[in-house]
Structure 1
Amino acid sequence: MIKIHHLKQSRSTRIIWLAEELGLDYDVISYDRDENTRLAPVSLREVHPLGKAPIVEVNGSTLVESAAILEYILDHFAPEKLRPAKTEKAYSQYLQWLHFAEGSAMLPVLLNMFLAAVDSKDAPVFGYARKEAELDFAYINETLADSDYFCGDLFTAADIMMGSVLAFAQPQGLLDNYPAILAYLTRLHQRPAFIKAASFG
Protein backbone atom coordinates (compact mmCIF):
# COMPACT_ATOMS: atom_id res chain seq x y z
CA MET A 1 0.00 0.00 0.00
CA ILE A 2 1.21 3.47 -0.89
CA LYS A 3 0.28 6.12 1.67
CA ILE A 4 -0.05 9.60 0.14
CA HIS A 5 -0.08 12.60 2.47
CA HIS A 6 -2.07 15.06 0.38
CA LEU A 7 -2.30 18.79 1.03
CA LYS A 8 -5.35 20.13 -0.75
CA GLN A 9 -4.65 22.44 -3.71
CA SER A 10 -1.03 21.38 -3.93
CA ARG A 11 1.48 19.42 -5.96
CA SER A 12 0.54 16.21 -4.15
CA THR A 13 -2.39 15.80 -6.54
CA ARG A 14 0.27 14.57 -8.96
CA ILE A 15 0.94 11.47 -6.90
CA ILE A 16 -2.73 10.53 -6.69
CA TRP A 17 -2.99 11.09 -10.44
CA LEU A 18 -0.02 8.77 -11.04
CA ALA A 19 -1.46 6.05 -8.81
CA GLU A 20 -4.78 6.27 -10.66
CA GLU A 21 -3.11 6.09 -14.07
CA LEU A 22 -1.27 2.95 -12.94
CA GLY A 23 -4.22 1.37 -11.15
CA LEU A 24 -2.27 1.04 -7.89
CA ASP A 25 -3.67 0.54 -4.42
CA TYR A 26 -3.12 3.64 -2.31
CA ASP A 27 -4.42 5.44 0.74
CA VAL A 28 -4.81 9.23 0.94
CA ILE A 29 -4.48 11.22 4.13
CA SER A 30 -5.77 14.71 3.35
CA TYR A 31 -4.75 17.95 5.03
CA ASP A 32 -6.45 21.35 4.82
CA ARG A 33 -4.52 24.57 4.41
CA ASP A 34 -4.58 27.19 7.16
CA GLU A 35 -7.52 29.51 6.41
CA ASN A 36 -5.47 32.65 7.06
CA THR A 37 -1.96 31.86 5.84
CA ARG A 38 -2.90 29.24 3.19
CA LEU A 39 0.11 27.25 4.39
CA ALA A 40 0.29 23.56 5.23
CA PRO A 41 -0.67 22.57 8.77
CA VAL A 42 2.05 21.89 11.34
CA SER A 43 0.83 18.28 11.52
CA LEU A 44 2.57 17.53 8.21
CA ARG A 45 5.91 18.05 9.98
CA GLU A 46 5.09 15.05 12.12
CA VAL A 47 5.28 12.98 8.94
CA HIS A 48 8.41 14.65 7.48
CA PRO A 49 10.59 17.47 8.89
CA LEU A 50 9.93 19.72 5.87
CA GLY A 51 6.17 19.54 6.32
CA LYS A 52 5.65 19.98 2.56
CA ALA A 53 3.38 17.94 0.32
CA PRO A 54 3.68 15.58 -1.39
CA ILE A 55 4.91 13.17 1.23
CA VAL A 56 4.63 9.47 0.45
CA GLU A 57 5.20 6.46 2.68
CA VAL A 58 6.09 3.39 0.65
CA ASN A 59 8.19 0.26 1.18
CA GLY A 60 9.26 1.44 4.62
CA SER A 61 10.55 4.79 3.34
CA THR A 62 9.18 8.33 3.59
CA LEU A 63 9.75 10.27 0.38
CA VAL A 64 9.37 13.91 -0.67
CA GLU A 65 9.85 15.76 -4.01
CA SER A 66 7.34 15.02 -6.75
CA ALA A 67 9.68 13.87 -9.53
CA ALA A 68 11.62 11.60 -7.17
CA ILE A 69 8.39 10.05 -5.90
CA LEU A 70 7.10 9.48 -9.44
CA GLU A 71 10.34 7.83 -10.51
CA TYR A 72 10.45 5.65 -7.38
CA ILE A 73 6.88 4.45 -7.85
CA LEU A 74 7.46 3.70 -11.53
CA ASP A 75 10.70 1.84 -10.76
CA HIS A 76 9.11 -0.34 -8.10
CA PHE A 77 5.52 -0.81 -9.29
CA ALA A 78 5.35 -0.19 -13.04
CA PRO A 79 8.82 -0.06 -14.64
CA GLU A 80 7.48 -0.40 -18.18
CA LYS A 81 4.67 2.16 -17.93
CA LEU A 82 4.33 5.94 -18.34
CA ARG A 83 7.81 6.57 -19.70
CA PRO A 84 9.81 5.60 -22.78
CA ALA A 85 12.38 2.84 -22.52
CA LYS A 86 15.85 4.16 -21.67
CA THR A 87 17.07 2.90 -25.04
CA GLU A 88 14.55 5.06 -26.93
CA LYS A 89 15.37 8.54 -28.21
CA ALA A 90 12.26 9.93 -26.49
CA TYR A 91 13.70 9.03 -23.07
CA SER A 92 15.91 12.13 -23.04
CA GLN A 93 12.84 14.30 -23.73
CA TYR A 94 10.98 12.51 -20.96
CA LEU A 95 13.74 13.28 -18.46
CA GLN A 96 13.96 16.90 -19.55
CA TRP A 97 10.26 17.61 -19.09
CA LEU A 98 10.01 15.58 -15.90
CA HIS A 99 12.50 17.95 -14.28
CA PHE A 100 11.67 21.10 -16.26
CA ALA A 101 8.38 21.26 -14.35
CA GLU A 102 9.95 22.22 -11.03
CA GLY A 103 13.38 23.29 -12.29
CA SER A 104 12.10 26.00 -14.66
CA ALA A 105 8.36 26.19 -15.30
CA MET A 106 7.20 26.56 -11.71
CA LEU A 107 9.39 29.62 -11.00
CA PRO A 108 7.43 32.18 -13.07
CA VAL A 109 4.16 30.72 -11.80
CA LEU A 110 5.18 31.20 -8.18
CA LEU A 111 6.67 34.63 -8.85
CA ASN A 112 3.46 35.80 -10.49
CA MET A 113 1.39 34.49 -7.60
CA PHE A 114 3.48 36.11 -4.87
CA LEU A 115 4.05 39.39 -6.72
CA ALA A 116 0.32 39.88 -7.26
CA ALA A 117 0.07 41.24 -3.72
CA VAL A 118 2.88 43.79 -4.22
CA ASP A 119 1.63 47.32 -4.85
CA SER A 120 4.67 48.80 -6.60
CA LYS A 121 5.25 47.23 -10.01
CA ASP A 122 8.52 49.10 -10.65
CA ALA A 123 10.87 46.63 -8.98
CA PRO A 124 13.21 44.77 -11.37
CA VAL A 125 11.79 41.44 -10.23
CA PHE A 126 8.56 42.15 -12.16
CA GLY A 127 10.46 42.43 -15.44
CA TYR A 128 12.37 39.26 -14.61
CA ALA A 129 9.18 37.35 -13.80
CA ARG A 130 7.53 38.47 -17.04
CA LYS A 131 10.59 37.53 -19.12
CA GLU A 132 10.83 34.09 -17.53
CA ALA A 133 7.14 33.40 -18.06
CA GLU A 134 7.27 34.43 -21.71
CA LEU A 135 10.43 32.40 -22.33
CA ASP A 136 9.18 29.21 -20.67
CA PHE A 137 5.60 29.24 -21.91
CA ALA A 138 6.57 30.08 -25.50
CA TYR A 139 8.95 27.10 -25.45
CA ILE A 140 6.27 24.82 -24.00
CA ASN A 141 3.67 26.05 -26.48
CA GLU A 142 6.00 25.41 -29.41
CA THR A 143 6.69 21.89 -28.15
CA LEU A 144 2.99 21.09 -27.87
CA ALA A 145 1.98 22.69 -31.15
CA ASP A 146 2.68 19.46 -33.06
CA SER A 147 2.41 16.89 -30.26
CA ASP A 148 -0.37 15.64 -28.05
CA TYR A 149 2.05 15.19 -25.15
CA PHE A 150 5.61 16.10 -24.20
CA CYS A 151 6.89 12.82 -25.65
CA GLY A 152 4.92 13.00 -28.87
CA ASP A 153 1.91 10.68 -28.87
CA LEU A 154 2.97 8.98 -25.62
CA PHE A 155 1.41 10.14 -22.34
CA THR A 156 4.07 9.87 -19.63
CA ALA A 157 4.76 10.80 -16.04
CA ALA A 158 6.37 13.97 -17.43
CA ASP A 159 2.87 15.06 -18.46
CA ILE A 160 1.72 14.58 -14.89
CA MET A 161 4.53 16.84 -13.70
CA MET A 162 4.12 19.48 -16.39
CA GLY A 163 0.33 19.34 -16.46
CA SER A 164 0.22 20.17 -12.76
CA VAL A 165 2.39 23.27 -13.20
CA LEU A 166 0.36 24.47 -16.17
CA ALA A 167 -2.86 23.93 -14.23
CA PHE A 168 -1.50 26.30 -11.55
CA ALA A 169 -0.58 28.83 -14.25
CA GLN A 170 -3.91 28.87 -16.09
CA PRO A 171 -6.08 30.64 -13.47
CA GLN A 172 -3.43 33.36 -13.20
CA GLY A 173 -3.93 34.24 -16.87
CA LEU A 174 -0.36 33.22 -17.74
CA LEU A 175 -1.48 30.90 -20.55
CA ASP A 176 -3.98 33.13 -22.33
CA ASN A 177 -1.71 33.65 -25.35
CA TYR A 178 -0.65 30.02 -25.72
CA PRO A 179 -3.36 28.02 -27.54
CA ALA A 180 -1.37 24.78 -27.79
CA ILE A 181 -0.93 24.69 -24.01
CA LEU A 182 -4.62 25.36 -23.42
CA ALA A 183 -5.59 22.57 -25.82
CA TYR A 184 -3.12 20.27 -24.05
CA LEU A 185 -4.68 21.02 -20.65
CA THR A 186 -8.12 20.26 -22.04
CA ARG A 187 -6.87 16.82 -23.13
CA LEU A 188 -5.28 16.12 -19.76
CA HIS A 189 -8.31 17.21 -17.77
CA GLN A 190 -10.49 14.73 -19.64
CA ARG A 191 -8.45 11.76 -18.44
CA PRO A 192 -10.39 9.70 -15.85
CA ALA A 193 -7.30 9.42 -13.62
CA PHE A 194 -6.92 13.20 -13.51
CA ILE A 195 -10.62 13.68 -12.72
CA LYS A 196 -10.35 11.22 -9.83
CA ALA A 197 -7.20 12.88 -8.47
CA ALA A 198 -8.75 16.34 -8.71
CA SER A 199 -11.74 15.15 -6.66
CA PHE A 200 -9.49 15.04 -3.58
CA GLY A 201 -9.23 18.84 -3.67
Structure 2
Amino acid sequence: MLSVHHLGKSQSERIVWLCEELGIPYELKRYTRDPATMLAPPNYKALHPIGAAPVITDGDLVLAESGAIVDYIIAKYGNGRLVLRPDDPDFAQFLYWFHFANGTLQAGMGRLMILNRLKLAEDNPMLVATRGRVDRAFDLVDARVRSADYLAGNTFTTADIMTGFSLTTMRYFQPYDLSRCPNVIKYLGRIGERAAYRRAMEKGDPDMALLLS
Protein backbone atom coordinates (compact mmCIF):
# COMPACT_ATOMS: atom_id res chain seq x y z
CA MET A 1 0.00 0.00 0.00
CA LEU A 2 1.13 3.55 -0.68
CA SER A 3 2.39 5.20 2.51
CA VAL A 4 3.14 8.90 2.79
CA HIS A 5 5.70 9.67 5.47
CA HIS A 6 4.79 13.21 6.41
CA LEU A 7 7.14 15.42 8.37
CA GLY A 8 5.26 18.34 9.88
CA LYS A 9 5.77 21.72 8.18
CA SER A 10 7.61 20.29 5.22
CA GLN A 11 7.39 19.73 1.48
CA SER A 12 5.77 16.37 2.18
CA GLU A 13 2.48 18.26 2.55
CA ARG A 14 2.51 18.32 -1.26
CA ILE A 15 2.17 14.56 -1.33
CA VAL A 16 -0.65 14.43 1.18
CA TRP A 17 -2.47 17.09 -0.82
CA LEU A 18 -1.90 15.20 -4.09
CA CYS A 19 -3.35 12.00 -2.64
CA GLU A 20 -6.39 13.88 -1.37
CA GLU A 21 -6.94 15.55 -4.75
CA LEU A 22 -6.77 12.18 -6.48
CA GLY A 23 -8.92 10.48 -3.87
CA ILE A 24 -6.65 7.44 -3.77
CA PRO A 25 -6.16 5.15 -0.77
CA TYR A 26 -2.98 5.81 1.17
CA GLU A 27 -1.58 5.46 4.66
CA LEU A 28 -0.45 8.66 6.33
CA LYS A 29 2.42 8.35 8.79
CA ARG A 30 3.10 11.59 10.64
CA TYR A 31 6.42 12.62 12.16
CA THR A 32 7.16 15.58 14.41
CA ARG A 33 10.19 17.84 14.15
CA ASP A 34 12.66 18.02 17.01
CA PRO A 35 11.46 21.00 19.09
CA ALA A 36 15.00 22.29 19.66
CA THR A 37 16.56 21.87 16.22
CA MET A 38 13.38 21.83 14.10
CA LEU A 39 14.97 18.97 12.15
CA ALA A 40 13.45 15.61 11.30
CA PRO A 41 13.57 12.97 14.04
CA PRO A 42 15.98 10.02 13.70
CA ASN A 43 13.27 7.57 12.62
CA TYR A 44 12.39 9.86 9.70
CA LYS A 45 16.00 10.37 8.67
CA ALA A 46 16.41 6.59 8.62
CA LEU A 47 13.78 6.17 5.91
CA HIS A 48 16.03 7.28 3.05
CA PRO A 49 19.78 7.95 2.68
CA ILE A 50 19.17 11.67 2.05
CA GLY A 51 17.32 11.93 5.36
CA ALA A 52 14.89 14.64 4.23
CA ALA A 53 11.18 15.01 3.52
CA PRO A 54 9.21 13.91 1.62
CA VAL A 55 9.45 10.13 1.47
CA ILE A 56 6.92 7.57 0.31
CA THR A 57 6.93 3.81 0.44
CA ASP A 58 4.90 1.70 -1.96
CA GLY A 59 5.47 -1.99 -1.44
CA ASP A 60 9.23 -2.43 -1.57
CA LEU A 61 9.77 0.99 -3.14
CA VAL A 62 11.23 3.84 -1.11
CA LEU A 63 11.18 7.15 -2.97
CA ALA A 64 12.23 10.69 -2.02
CA GLU A 65 12.14 14.11 -3.76
CA SER A 66 8.74 15.73 -4.01
CA GLY A 67 8.83 16.23 -7.78
CA ALA A 68 9.77 12.60 -8.37
CA ILE A 69 7.09 11.42 -5.95
CA VAL A 70 4.42 13.54 -7.62
CA ASP A 71 5.41 12.17 -11.04
CA TYR A 72 5.40 8.60 -9.70
CA ILE A 73 1.97 8.87 -8.07
CA ILE A 74 0.46 10.57 -11.13
CA ALA A 75 1.93 7.93 -13.46
CA LYS A 76 0.81 5.00 -11.33
CA TYR A 77 -2.44 6.22 -9.78
CA GLY A 78 -3.45 9.43 -11.55
CA ASN A 79 -5.21 8.07 -14.64
CA GLY A 80 -4.39 11.27 -16.51
CA ARG A 81 -5.71 13.60 -13.82
CA LEU A 82 -4.04 16.85 -12.62
CA VAL A 83 -1.65 17.01 -15.57
CA LEU A 84 -1.91 18.38 -19.10
CA ARG A 85 -1.32 16.35 -22.24
CA PRO A 86 1.34 17.41 -24.76
CA ASP A 87 -1.36 18.48 -27.22
CA ASP A 88 -2.91 20.87 -24.69
CA PRO A 89 -2.14 24.52 -25.60
CA ASP A 90 -1.05 25.15 -21.99
CA PHE A 91 1.26 22.13 -21.81
CA ALA A 92 4.47 24.19 -21.89
CA GLN A 93 3.11 26.48 -19.16
CA PHE A 94 2.29 23.42 -17.07
CA LEU A 95 5.83 22.09 -17.42
CA TYR A 96 7.38 25.46 -16.66
CA TRP A 97 5.45 26.10 -13.46
CA PHE A 98 5.78 22.53 -12.24
CA HIS A 99 9.57 22.86 -12.35
CA PHE A 100 9.63 26.52 -11.33
CA ALA A 101 8.45 25.49 -7.85
CA ASN A 102 11.65 23.73 -6.80
CA GLY A 103 13.97 24.98 -9.51
CA THR A 104 13.52 28.69 -8.80
CA LEU A 105 11.07 29.69 -6.06
CA GLN A 106 11.83 27.12 -3.35
CA ALA A 107 15.55 27.20 -4.08
CA GLY A 108 15.66 30.99 -3.83
CA MET A 109 13.72 31.07 -0.58
CA GLY A 110 15.99 28.40 0.86
CA ARG A 111 19.11 30.36 0.01
CA LEU A 112 17.62 33.52 1.46
CA MET A 113 16.71 31.68 4.66
CA ILE A 114 20.31 30.54 5.11
CA LEU A 115 21.75 33.99 4.35
CA ASN A 116 19.38 35.64 6.82
CA ARG A 117 20.52 33.26 9.54
CA LEU A 118 24.11 34.36 8.96
CA LYS A 119 23.18 37.86 10.19
CA LEU A 120 24.91 39.55 7.26
CA ALA A 121 24.98 43.30 6.79
CA GLU A 122 21.90 44.60 5.00
CA ASP A 123 24.03 45.79 2.08
CA ASN A 124 25.85 42.48 1.66
CA PRO A 125 25.94 41.89 -2.14
CA MET A 126 24.96 38.23 -1.88
CA LEU A 127 22.03 39.02 0.41
CA VAL A 128 20.84 41.89 -1.79
CA ALA A 129 21.09 39.77 -4.93
CA THR A 130 19.23 36.84 -3.38
CA ARG A 131 16.45 39.05 -2.06
CA GLY A 132 16.08 40.53 -5.52
CA ARG A 133 15.87 37.09 -7.08
CA VAL A 134 13.18 35.99 -4.64
CA ASP A 135 11.23 39.20 -5.28
CA ARG A 136 11.37 38.57 -9.03
CA ALA A 137 10.15 35.01 -8.51
CA PHE A 138 7.16 36.20 -6.49
CA ASP A 139 6.49 38.94 -9.02
CA LEU A 140 6.42 36.35 -11.79
CA VAL A 141 3.90 34.21 -9.91
CA ASP A 142 1.81 37.30 -9.20
CA ALA A 143 1.77 38.26 -12.87
CA ARG A 144 0.85 34.74 -13.92
CA VAL A 145 -2.13 34.40 -11.60
CA ARG A 146 -3.34 37.85 -12.55
CA SER A 147 -4.20 36.49 -15.99
CA ALA A 148 -5.02 32.86 -15.10
CA ASP A 149 -6.87 31.12 -12.29
CA TYR A 150 -4.10 28.58 -11.87
CA LEU A 151 -0.46 28.35 -12.87
CA ALA A 152 -0.99 26.16 -15.93
CA GLY A 153 -3.97 28.23 -17.02
CA ASN A 154 -7.56 27.75 -15.94
CA THR A 155 -7.04 24.13 -14.88
CA PHE A 156 -5.75 23.09 -11.45
CA THR A 157 -2.70 20.82 -11.87
CA THR A 158 0.24 19.39 -9.99
CA ALA A 159 2.07 22.63 -10.78
CA ASP A 160 -0.18 24.29 -8.20
CA ILE A 161 0.47 21.53 -5.67
CA MET A 162 4.22 21.92 -6.11
CA THR A 163 4.16 25.71 -5.81
CA GLY A 164 1.62 25.92 -3.00
CA PHE A 165 4.07 24.88 -0.30
CA SER A 166 6.56 27.61 -1.20
CA LEU A 167 3.87 30.28 -1.16
CA THR A 168 2.45 29.14 2.18
CA THR A 169 4.19 26.86 4.69
CA MET A 170 7.70 27.76 3.53
CA ARG A 171 7.02 31.25 4.89
CA TYR A 172 7.25 29.81 8.40
CA PHE A 173 10.96 29.31 7.65
CA GLN A 174 11.50 32.32 5.38
CA PRO A 175 8.86 35.01 5.99
CA TYR A 176 7.69 36.94 2.98
CA ASP A 177 5.26 39.85 2.85
CA LEU A 178 2.57 38.96 0.34
CA SER A 179 0.99 42.42 0.48
CA ARG A 180 3.14 43.30 -2.54
CA CYS A 181 1.56 40.39 -4.44
CA PRO A 182 -2.23 40.92 -4.41
CA ASN A 183 -2.86 38.37 -7.13
CA VAL A 184 -0.98 35.70 -5.20
CA ILE A 185 -3.25 36.38 -2.23
CA LYS A 186 -6.32 35.91 -4.44
CA TYR A 187 -4.79 32.75 -5.88
CA LEU A 188 -4.16 31.34 -2.41
CA GLY A 189 -7.77 32.13 -1.61
CA ARG A 190 -8.79 29.83 -4.44
CA ILE A 191 -6.38 27.17 -3.19
CA GLY A 192 -7.73 27.46 0.33
CA GLU A 193 -11.27 26.82 -0.91
CA ARG A 194 -10.31 23.41 -2.29
CA ALA A 195 -11.77 20.67 -0.11
CA ALA A 196 -8.81 18.37 -0.82
CA TYR A 197 -6.34 21.01 0.33
CA ARG A 198 -8.28 21.55 3.55
CA ARG A 199 -8.45 17.80 4.20
CA ALA A 200 -4.75 17.37 3.53
CA MET A 201 -3.69 20.15 5.87
CA GLU A 202 -6.07 18.99 8.60
CA LYS A 203 -4.69 15.47 8.37
CA GLY A 204 -1.03 16.41 8.00
CA ASP A 205 -0.65 19.53 10.14
CA PRO A 206 -3.85 19.94 12.17
CA ASP A 207 -2.34 22.45 14.60
CA MET A 208 -0.68 24.68 12.02
CA ALA A 209 -2.26 27.97 10.96
CA LEU A 210 -2.44 28.12 7.16
CA LEU A 211 -0.51 31.02 5.65
CA LEU A 212 -2.94 31.83 2.85
CA SER A 213 -2.46 35.58 2.92
Do these two structures clear the TM 0.5 threshold for a shared fold by scoring above it?
A: yes
Name the counterpart of 1:48. 48
Name the counterpart of 1:184. 187
Deviation at 1:169, TM superposition (A): 5.2
Task: For 2:22, give the aligned amino acid.
Answer: L
More moved, 158-167 vs 113-122: 113-122
Deviation at 1:174, TM superposition (A): 3.6
Distance in 1 between the 2:56 and 2:189 partners?
Answer: 28
Distance in 1 between the 2:11 and 2:27 partners?
Answer: 17
Distance in 2 between the 1:31 and 1:80 partners?
Answer: 31
Name the counterpart of 2:86. 86
**Equivalent residue runs for 1:48-127 within 5 Å:** 48-117=48-117, 118=119, 120-127=121-128
Distance in 1 between the 2:146 and 2:61 partners?
Answer: 40
Distance in 2 between the 1:70 and 1:145 partners?
Answer: 26
Task: For 1:146, give the aligned amino acid.
Answer: S
Gaps of 5+ in 1: none
Name the counterpart of 2:6. 6
What are the superposed Cα offsets for residues 141-191 of structure 1, whole Å, 9 maximum, x if unpaired?
A: 111101110111100011000111111355613422011111101110111
Question: 4+ runs of 1 displaced by more than 4 Å?
Answer: none
Name the counterpart of 2:160. 159
Deviation at 1:91, TM superposition (A): 1.6
- Identity of paired residues, percent? 33
Distance 1:169 1:31, change over 3 A: closer
Task: For 2:199, give the aligned amino acid.
Answer: K
Q: TM-score, normalised by structure 2?
A: 0.88
Name the counterpart of 2:150. 149
How many pairs align? 201
Distance in 1 between the 2:24 and 2:61 partners?
Answer: 17
Distance in 2 between the 1:46 and 1:17 partners?
Answer: 24
More moved, 168-177 vs 37-46: 168-177
Task: For 2:41, give the aligned amino acid.
Answer: P
Q: Secondary structure at the match of 2:144?
A: helix
Distance in 2 between the 1:10 and 1:92 partners?
Answer: 28
Gaps of 5+ in 2: 206-213
Task: For 2:125, give the aligned amino acid.
Answer: P
Task: For 1:184, give the aligned amino acid.
Answer: Y
Name the counterpart of 1:137. 138
Deviation at 1:39, TM superposition (A): 0.7
Distance in 1 between the 2:38 and 2:46 partners?
Answer: 19
Distance in 1 between the 2:44 and 2:170 partners?
Answer: 25
Task: For 1:196, give the aligned amino acid.
Answer: R
Distance in 2 between the 1:35 and 1:114 partners?
Answer: 19
What are the superposed Cα offsets for residues 94-144 of structure 1, whole Å, 9 maximum, x if unpaired?
A: 111111100000123223333443153232221012110121111111111
8 Å Cα contact 1:14/1:160 also seen in 2? yes
More moved, 114-123 vs 39-48: 114-123
